[in-house]
Amino acid sequence: MSITTSLDVFLVVMTLVYTFLVLYMRWGWDRINWFSGRQSTQPGLAKVSVLIAARNEEENIARTLDCIVAQDFPKDRLEIIVVDDHSTDATADIVAGYAARGVKLIKLNEGDKLNSYKKLAISRAIAAATGDIMVTTDADCRMGVRWLSTVIACFEQSDAKMLSSPVVYSEEKSYFERLQTLEFLYLIGLGAAGIGNGHPTTCNGANLAYRRDVFYAMGGFNGIDNLASGDDELFLHKVAEQHADKIGFCKSKDAVVYTDAKPSLKAFISQRKRWASKSTRYKDKKVVALGVSIWLFNLALLAAAVHFLVDLPNLHGLFLIAFALKVVAEYIFIYPLCAFADRRNLLVNLPFLSLIHALYLLYIGVAGNVGKYSWKDRKVN
């Protein structure tokens, strides 16, 4: 068998695998029921602690806290804790100004000796919290007034131990940021679909809830605390080892948390390298197989693209078929995500994003697992 034939066979196999996986993920999204329940004000329901780890967020933290203190959630059952992670700007002073509105401030004072400051910050917040349910978000997020009541109602009605909820980019300022919004919807859908299919794979700490007793029963971040990232996804995997059927996704527009895309390619690559670095700690072989399969498909697709360009006179049609199947499968998957976020206008960018996404995934798959990256003005592993 010639090298060309071998590459063709490889491309055909991986295209079929990828198409099946994407359609399977669409099925997982469809299996999640829409949630429209409202928060009950009956006495005796769980107390909630909203936790934020913040570092140098003076431009964003006030807006986030304004959103949280304005929630239509019973104030006697809510506490808000912000952990200042060695900020060198006015973040801590701004947070302190919200003390009269029920916001508690904790300051880290660990010096330059850790790799995972965010996990430490969340652990300190949980240790100080009095709530039964921990809800984590980030210092640069926005929420509607029904966000918390919706998330907690879904949490309690589903009897969950952990609940992932949607995060969406908004207020884009460039075409590059709009492309990120479309790609991020794919990632959020991937996490939701895994939960819908009973195999949780990923979530986002900007909108994540779990029981305090579950955090301690799982040993907190022990075993994953030497990695800078992973306070959300790797902890999800720990919980899924014992309670996969008790992990849910809140499919409600009221539960959405909004945040910003990265303004530059450098910041985007650094973020994605950080996210990819977590893959070295995956214990679930199914999650590893999913990631490897997607990476191999994109490798096969780009190899076929090179062959196509070199052999233009003969129009190597297999590449065109494989790419068309990729775009169609991704369209079928991401259309309901764009509808959910009221961003159908982004779908016109899908063919272009699908092409550059293949290049980016190959690079990130390697770069994210070697060397260091920058996060919050720190070089971490």
**Backbone phi, psi, residue 45, to 5°:** -75, 165
**Backbone phi, psi, residue 162, to 5°:** -145, 140
Cα separation, 189 vs 167, in Å, equals 10
Structure confidence by residue, pLDDT tens digits, 103-120: 999 999 876 666 678 999
Q: How many CB atoms lie within 10 A of CB 302?
A: 16
Helix (H, G, I), strand (E, B) or coil at 311: coil
Structure confidence by residue, pLDDT tens digits, 244-279: 999 999 999 999 999 999 999 988 888 888 777 766
Percent of the chain with pLDDT over 70: 87
- CA of residue 58 relative to chain centroid, distance: 23
Average pLDDT, the chain: 88
Tokens representing 176 are: 């590059």
Classify residue 46 by its DSSP letter: P
Structure confidence by residue, pLDDT tens digits, 274-313: 777 766 666 667 777 778 888 888 888 888 877 767 765 4
pTM of the model: 0.90
With b meaning 16 or more CB within 10 Å and e meaning fewer, what string describes 336-356? ebbebbebeebbeebeebbbe
- What is the average pLDDT across 198-205? 93
Confidence band, pLDDT 50/70/90 cuts, at residue 7? confident
Structure confidence by residue, pLDDT tens digits, 153-191: 999 999 999 999 999 999 999 999 999 999 999 999 999
**The tokens 């401030």 sit on which residue?**
105
Specify the pLDDT at position 45. 72
Helices (H) and strands (E) in the chain, counts: 12, 12
Specify the pLDDT at position 40. 45
